[in-house]
Amino acid sequence: MNASVETQSAAGLTLPDFLGIGAQKSGTSWLHENLKPHPGVFVPEAKEVHFFDQKFEQGLNSYSQIFEPAGDRVKGEITPAYGILPPHRIGLIHELMPRLKVIFLMRNPIERAWSQALMNLAHQPGRPAASLSDQEIIAHFNSPASRQRGDYETILNNWLAHYDRRQVFTSFFEDISIRPRELLSDVFKFLGLSTNLDWGGFPYNQVVLRGGGMAMPPRLRRILVEIYHEPIERLGQLYNAPARRWLAAE
């Protein structure tokens, strides 16, 4: 679609104030469930709308209808696949929503790749994790679907090419375990929301979509360390902690 045509057609439509763009398997379901109770937030009941990666041809009118019930609330949605959108699509999103705020959570890409492999190869097809062969797991590690989602540097560079750094919130999966309420407060402040809340209504100490299956065998971990050693080192220069600790743990 022509970007100028889409931008013109967005006039008067109700579009989101924020997008959660991933990373996949990095706590986005937890974040979605903890945004829902805030009285100043509207998110769709179901996470992952997939408009900009799968349903764009349905048109902005259909997307706008999702957010019309928001009223005066801050509105948004979380679809981790948006993290790996091509630059031209991110540019179009910026034309449509130049004031958009973007939320990106990062997880050790070694652990993230393992979690995604188990989800895609075992959990979703309904297979026992122990039945997976090393060959198919390693093929998944090396697939574009996995490598792109673990390339946080490129993801952030692509979005920061269009959005000011002040419009992009980044944090880490580890914060959900270490400082969940503080992380939520940081997100709420980033979105311009009150943190004077009854925190008893937020499931910030609950695990959402707990990963299951077997622990990562050392032989497979070594392969992922080889894949992600240099990207983690580069990321550690930008985000000193905990990114540097990801390799220290290996």
Residue the block writes with tokens 């580890």: 174
Radius of gyration of the chain (CA): 19
Classify 250 as helix, strand or coil. coil
Per-residue model confidence as pLDDT tens for the chain (250 residues): 444 445 546 788 999 999 999 999 999 999 999 999 999 999 999 999 999 999 999 999 999 999 999 999 999 999 999 999 999 999 999 999 999 999 999 999 999 999 999 999 998 899 999 999 999 999 999 999 999 999 999 999 999 999 999 999 999 999 999 999 999 999 999 999 999 999 999 999 987 655 556 899 999 999 999 999 999 988 888 876 667 788 765 5
What pLDDT does residue 5 have? 43
Sketch out the chain's domains with CATH numbers: 3-248 (3.40.50.300)
Q: Is the peptide bond before 242 cis (omega within 30 degrees of 0)?
A: yes
What pLDDT does residue 207 have? 76
What is the sign, positive or negative, of the torsion defined by CA atoms of 218, 224, 230, 232? negative
